[in-house]
Amino acid sequence: MSYANCPVCKNESIKPVQTAKDHTVSGETFTIAECGMCGLRYTLNAPSEDKIGPYYQSSAYISHSNTKKGVINFLYHIARFFTMMSKEKLVKKASKRQVGMLLDIGSGTGTFAHTMERAGWNVVGLEPDPEARKQAIKKYNCDIYPSDELFRLPEQTYSVITMWHVLEHVHQLDEYVDRIKDLLAPTGKLIIAVPNYTSKDAAIYKEFWASYDVPRHLYHFSPNSMRMLMKRNGMRVIGTRRMWLDSFYISLLSEKYKKGFFLKGIWNGLVSNFNALLHKEQCSSLVYVIERED
């Protein structure tokens, strides 16, 4: 993938700012560019949609494998229990509904879809990885469909559409966002969680920051670039939420990549969260609550 213009604002003011290594699968190094207008960063020369599959083939890629191997992944699973409760609460608060129609894009192994089904929601899940879909069916008996079903779903149907750490993986950025807008019910809410490269932990770890996750993460969003992307597609950000636990997970993983110390990862997670207390939109990951402008 190569761009002559910024994928979000289409400006030509783009320049390389740093490199990052794929620590999960290939060991390859990729260059990250930044738009001087909206602040979006993106991975230069990332594999195309039909060639990126092998970069996800690792037992360490937790959202697809559900692995508990290793201390960091074990802690991730403990934290996920509390995260699911937080996500359910946010969906109900943002939509002002106790039940409704929910579309979860990028369902992975189905944990969130299952959580919302247990809460009484009618859930449709989409996931590109066939092995992850098999695990979702086996573990939760969830209806998880291939991602291309997105373009065959009924319009103006869903009370809530969720994308938990998914948008940064999507090759067809404009097509997806435009389609999601069409699928939302008139008063529906879109909830997107993405890493935030303007966070303190990103500044600390630089090229070792685990949330760059090249080349799987095609885009690296700042709050400004997310707002601009939504505005250009007829939607608006109406609120942001901080994901406090992400700073610890990402700092621990970044410390591992640096061959550093476990306790230092914990400390840097605390430092990042303290900074986010003072500067809300500098949390390691942010959740954006979005609605249609019309």
Hey, where are the domains in the chain?
Answer: 67-96+154-292
Q: Contact, 157 vs 147, CB < 8 A? A: no
Lowest mean pLDDT among 73-87, 149-163, 175-189, 201-215: 73-87
Tokens 């760059």 appear where? 212
Lowest mean pLDDT among 22-26, 77-81, 142-146, 209-213: 77-81
Residue 69 has pLDDT above 60, yes or no: no
The pLDDT assigned to 36 comes to: 96
CATH architecture designation of domain 67-96+154-292: 3-Layer(aba) Sandwich (3.40)
pLDDT top residue among 65 and 221? 221
The pLDDT assigned to 204 comes to: 98
Task: Kindly compute the dihedral angle of the four CA atoms of residues 30, 34, 35, 36, in this order, to the nearest 10 degrees.
Answer: -150
The pLDDT assigned to 1 comes to: 77
pLDDT top residue among 73 and 138? 138
The pLDDT assigned to 66 comes to: 54
pLDDT top residue among 294 and 222? 222
221's CB contacts (< 8 A; 6+ apart) are 40, 41, 167, 168, 194, 195, 196, 197, 229
Residue 287 has pLDDT above 60, yes or no: yes
Beta bridge partners of 293: none
